[in-house]
Structures are given as C-alpha cells and as structure tokens.
C-alpha cells in the first residue's frame, strides 16, 4: 500500500467518483478505506467503524468470508477466464446454474443469464422481455412501466425506467416508451394518502389507468423492486406487489422483479418476490450473489418464459445479447460458494432478527430527534430515516444536515449512507447484536449533531 501522505494528497485528484460532482470530491475528500474484517471497515487513519452500508448493499456475509475468498483464489489458479459465448462453457457456470435453479425454484425460475452487475441484469431483462413478445407474435409490445422512486442502475435502459430525476435529467433524451406509476410511498404521495393499504390500491388504480391509456398491447413489461431500495427504502403494503402481478397477468405484461438488493435474504425472505408471494417472469440479481467480492450478476428466467424461447427454432429466439464477462468462471465459483454459505448460515433469519432490532431502535430515535420525519423498514436489513426541517410541513432537511449526521455517526463508530434527505441502513446480514447496538448509538450521536 502507498503511504498515507501519498493517498491523502492524491485522493480524488485523478479519478471521478460515481454519484457526486467532481468538485465535491475535491472539496470533501472521500474516506479512504484500507482494510476490513467481519462487519467493520478501517480507514487510512486507523479509525475502525461498523459498516452500516454493507459495502453497497452487497457484502451480506461481511468482509471475512473465507469460503468465498478461497473459491475465488482456487478458481483463479485453475481457470481464471473462459467465455460462455456460443460453443464454449466452463464447469463453474454449469455448477452455479444448477444451484441457482434450486435456490429460485420456489419463485418459479428455471434458467439463468449471466451479467457483470445489477445494471447489466436490468438491461438483460428489459431486452429479453421485448424479444419474448416478438417470438410469440406480439411485436407491438415494446413499452415499459415502472415506479417513480425506483432505481434500476444507470445504463440507458435502466435509467429510462428509473424513477428519480437525478439519474435522468443530465442524460436525456432517454429510451422512448417508458412510463412511470406513483410509488406506494405513504409519507409523500400525490394522493395525500397516509394509509398504506389504501395507498396501494390507489397506485394499482394508477397502473390500470396507465395501461388503459397506453394500450395493453403496446406494453412489454413492468419492472419494479419488491421493496424500493436506493429511492429511500419504501416497503409497500403487502397487497401491492401481488396486485401488480395480477394486473400484469390480466394484460399480458411481463413482470420483472429487480432484486439486485432484495435477493438472497436481505428482506428476511430468500427473495423479495417470495416475501410478497409473487411469481415474476424475470428476477434480476447481482451484488450479494458473490458477497460483493467479484462483479457478477444473474437474471433468473421463469419456466414459462423459458418455454417460449426454447420451443422456437425459427431464429427469433436467438439471443443477440451478452457480455464478455457473462458466466465468468471466477464470479461463478464465488457465487457457488456464496450461495452455500448464505444457506448454511441462514442469513435471512439473521436479517429478520437484526432488522427487527434496528427497526425498534430507529423508531425510538424518531421519538427523541425532531429532525427525523419518517422512519421506514420492518422487512429485514433495509431501513431509512428521512430527515426534515419541520415535521408539520415535512419540508426536507437542508443538504448539509444529513452530511453532518453522517460525519458525527462516523466519528461515533458507524458508516451510514446519505441519499438526498435519507439516511439509509443496509448492513451485512451477519451483523451481530452488539454491532447493531453500535449503529444505533452512533446514529443517536449523529442525529444530535443535526
């Protein structure tokens, strides 16, 4: 490692960071993380904190997961790369595909298509959805529906279905034919409806209305996160996703569950679709599939969709899509080890238990800190606190406020994430009770500095 002076002097000098202005990284130098163990990270100054961000919702098994590290090293030694484009395959990806098929059997998924990350997985599902309709004679279905507040990565397709202007405006014009439905966000919504069940019904009505307006026969797919994540952790009422599924089925629209965050236990269920009892047509995964140790993703494809592709030999079902790193053997080996370890440790149960602890904790913090306007969570280890200038008017807190909360919480022992007016918590699923208590204590101190 280069010495501290070199790292500090050159921090952000020769790179641009995602999701911030280059000038901001120069004015507010990023924290330089140099090592990690269990659920804790250490910065260049030797300050160790609990990582309440979990890397970026991906290091679900923490930083000391030896089985995944060993699988990666062993695979690098034996076969560091081979493509799975037409005509070749590798042993690791075959083994993984059988393991994923078992894992997602309860969701009705039977095939995998591999990618290098979440954005690629979204792009893949969007493209395959259009192709599905072309194969079975409905070429007019090309539009996409999605939720406002949704996050689907920043590729052009993903950004076009994204529901947040921050990822859109500077890059417009985006893909034509993408339309957005109000999110089931009880704290703020165009219906002024605070009751989650009634709000879910209103959002479903808006979905039906949009379908009628566009014409069902023009719509290829609806993409949604089972629990909106990066948009501020917005768990819907349990009736919402089943309602979307029923509407999609009635109208011949494919349902894409973007589970880049929610797959593999984060919500306290093995998948977000299973949490709500829904069987989508595609499930997009990435992130925790390799515990964040290798860039990798998989789109899971429902048996019913696979049947349409596999029955066609006219040429329409030839997949003109793929990435150099689709099915990368090192990523596949990491994922095989990771899947087994997640199940051995039953991380969905620990996510539920630690999630309940943090959920109670942040509700208590809301009572003692007026700056907290809303707290959201209650489904595993994805939680948020929305900060406001004033509770009655719900005016969002000034930009400097969450930054101050974050800095003070970091000093007090926890790395938390700021996204707009929201503080987001997405720690590893193997978080201990003691580490969860550290997060709550650090948050308390952070909010006191608001």
Ligand X SMILES: Cc1ncc(COP(=O)(O)O)c(C=O)c1O
Q: Which residues bind ligand X (CB under 6 A)?
A: 117-119, 122, 151-153, 225, 229-230, 258, 260-261, 286
Question: To the nearest whole angstrom, how small is the minimum distance from the Cβ of residue 127 to ligand X?
Answer: 15
Query: In the complex with ligand X, which residue's Cβ is closer, 110 or 117?
Result: 117
Question: To the nearest whole angstrom, how small is the minimum distance from the Cβ of residue 149 to ligand X?
Answer: 11
Question: To the nearest whole angstrom, how small is the minimum distance from the Cβ of residue 134 to ligand X?
Answer: 25
Query: In the complex with ligand X, which residue's Cβ is closer, 260 or 342?
Result: 260
Query: In the complex with ligand X, which residue's Cβ is closer, 132 or 296?
Result: 296
Question: To the nearest whole angstrom, how small is the minimum distance from the Cβ of residue 240 to ligand X?
Answer: 16
Question: To the nearest whole angstrom, how small is the minimum distance from the Cβ of residue 370 to ligand X?
Answer: 30
| Residue whose pair of structure tokens reads 């999701």 in the numeric block | 19
Question: To the nearest whole angstrom, how small is the minimum distance from the Cβ of residue 120 to ligand X?
Answer: 7
Query: In the complex with ligand X, which residue's Cβ is closer, 260 or 347?
Result: 260
Query: In the complex with ligand X, which residue's Cβ is closer, 151 or 264?
Result: 151
Question: To the nearest whole angstrom, how small is the minimum distance from the Cβ of residue 106 to ligand X?
Answer: 21
Question: To the nearest whole angstrom, how small is the minimum distance from the Cβ of residue 355 to ligand X?
Answer: 17
Tokens of 355: 């999630």
Query: In the complex with ligand X, which residue's Cβ is closer, 290 or 350?
Result: 290
Listed residue (439, 434, 429, 443) closest to 58, CA to CA: 429
Query: In the complex with ligand X, which residue's Cβ is closer, 289 or 342?
Result: 289
Question: To the nearest whole angstrom, how small is the minimum distance from the Cβ of residue 151 to ligand X?
Answer: 5
Query: In the complex with ligand X, which residue's Cβ is closer, 59 or 286?
Result: 286
Query: In the complex with ligand X, which residue's Cβ is closer, 256 or 387?
Result: 256
d(CA 282, CA 125): 7
Let me know: does 326 contact 115? Beta carbons within 8 Å.
yes
Three-class HEC string of the chain: CCCHHHHHHHCCCCCCCCCCCHHHHHHCCCCCEEEEECCEEEECCCCEEEECCHHHHCCCCCCCCHHHHHHHHHHHHHCCCCCCCCCCCCHHHHHHHHHHHHHCHHHCEEEEEEECCHHHHHHHHHHHHHHHHHHCCCCCCCEEEEECCCCCCCCHHHHHHCCCHHHCHHHCCCCCCEEEECCCCCCCCCCCCCCHHHHHHHHHHHHHHHHHHHCHHHEEEEEECCCECCCCCECCCCCHHHHHHHHHHHCCCEEEEECCCCCCCCCCCCCHHHHHCCCCCEEEECHHHHCCCCCCEEEEEEHHHHHHHHHCCCCCCCCCCCCCCCCCHHHHHHHHHHHHHHHHCCHHHHHHHHHHHHHHHHHHHHHHCCCEEEEECCCCCCEEEEEEEECCCCEECCCHHHHHHHHHHHHCCEECEEECCEEEECCCCCCCHHHHHHHHHHHHHHHHCC
Question: To the nearest whole angstrom, how small is the minimum distance from the Cβ of residue 175 to ligand X?
Answer: 16
Question: To the nearest whole angstrom, how small is the minimum distance from the Cβ of residue 295 to ligand X?
Answer: 7
Using Cβ positions, the residue closest to ligand X within the complex turns out to be 118
d(CA 52, CA 425): 6
Query: In the complex with ligand X, which residue's Cβ is closer, 260 or 335?
Result: 260
Tokens of 49: 């904190």
CB atoms closer than 10 angstroms to residue 128: 22
Question: Can you say how many angstroms the Cα of residue 160 is from the centroid of all Cα atoms in its chain?
Answer: 17
Query: In the complex with ligand X, which residue's Cβ is closer, 260 or 409?
Result: 260
């Amino acid at each position: 490692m280069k010495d501290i002076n070199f790292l500090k002097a050159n921090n952000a000098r020769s790179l641009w960071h995602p999701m911030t202005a280059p000038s901001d990284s120069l004015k507010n130098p990023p924290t330089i993380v140099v090592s990690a163990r269990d659920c804790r990270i250490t910065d260049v100054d030797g300050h160790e904190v609990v990582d309440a961000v979990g890397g970026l919702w991906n290091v679900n098994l923490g930083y000391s997961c030896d089985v995944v590290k060993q699988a990666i090293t062993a695979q690098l030694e034996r076969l560091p790369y081979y493509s799975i484009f037409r005509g070749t395959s590798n042993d690791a990806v075959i083994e993984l595909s059988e393991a994923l098929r078992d894992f997602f059997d309860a969701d009705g998924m039977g095939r995998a298509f591999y990618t290098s990350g979440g954005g690629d997985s979204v792009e893949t599902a969007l493209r395959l959805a259009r192709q599905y309709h072309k194969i079975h004679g409905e070429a007019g279905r090309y539009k996409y529906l999605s939720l406002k507040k949704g996050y689907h990565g920043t590729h052009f397709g993903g950004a076009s279905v994204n529901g947040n202007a921050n990822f859109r405006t500077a890059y417009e014009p985006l893909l034509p034919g993408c339309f957005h439905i109000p999110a089931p966000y009880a704290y703020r919504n165009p219906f002024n409806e605070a009751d989650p069940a009634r709000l879910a019904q209103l959002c479903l009505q808006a979905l039906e209305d949009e379908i009628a307006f566009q014409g069902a026969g023009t719509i290829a797919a609806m993409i949604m996160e089972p629990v909106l994540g990066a948009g501020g952790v917005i768990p819907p009422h349990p009736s919402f996703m089943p309602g979307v599924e029923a509407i999609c089925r009635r109208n011949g629209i494919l349902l894409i569950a973007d589970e880049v965050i929610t797959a593999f236990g984060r919500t306290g269920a093995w998948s977000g679709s299973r949490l709500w009892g829904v069987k989508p047509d595609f499930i997009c995964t990435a992130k925790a599939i390799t515990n964040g140790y290798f860039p990798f993703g998989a789109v899971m494809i429902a048996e019913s969709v696979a049947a349409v592709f596999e029955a066609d030999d006219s040429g329409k079902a030839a997949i003109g899509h793929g990435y150099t790193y689709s099915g990368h053997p090192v990523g596949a080996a990491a994922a095989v080890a990771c899947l087994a370890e997640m199940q051995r440790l039953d991380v969905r149960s620990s996510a539920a238990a630690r999630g309940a602890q943090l959920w109670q904790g942040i509700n208590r913090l809301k009572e003692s800190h007026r700056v907290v306007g809303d707290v959201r969570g209650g489904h595993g280890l994805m939680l948020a606190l929305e900060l406001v200038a004033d509770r009655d008017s719900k005016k969002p807190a000034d930009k400097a406020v969450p930054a101050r909360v974050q800095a003070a919480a970091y000093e007090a022992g926890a790395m938390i994430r700021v996204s707009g007016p929201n503080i987001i918590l997405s720690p590893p699923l193997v978080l201990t009770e003691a580490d969860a208590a550290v997060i709550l204590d650090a948050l308390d101190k952070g909010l006191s500095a608001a």
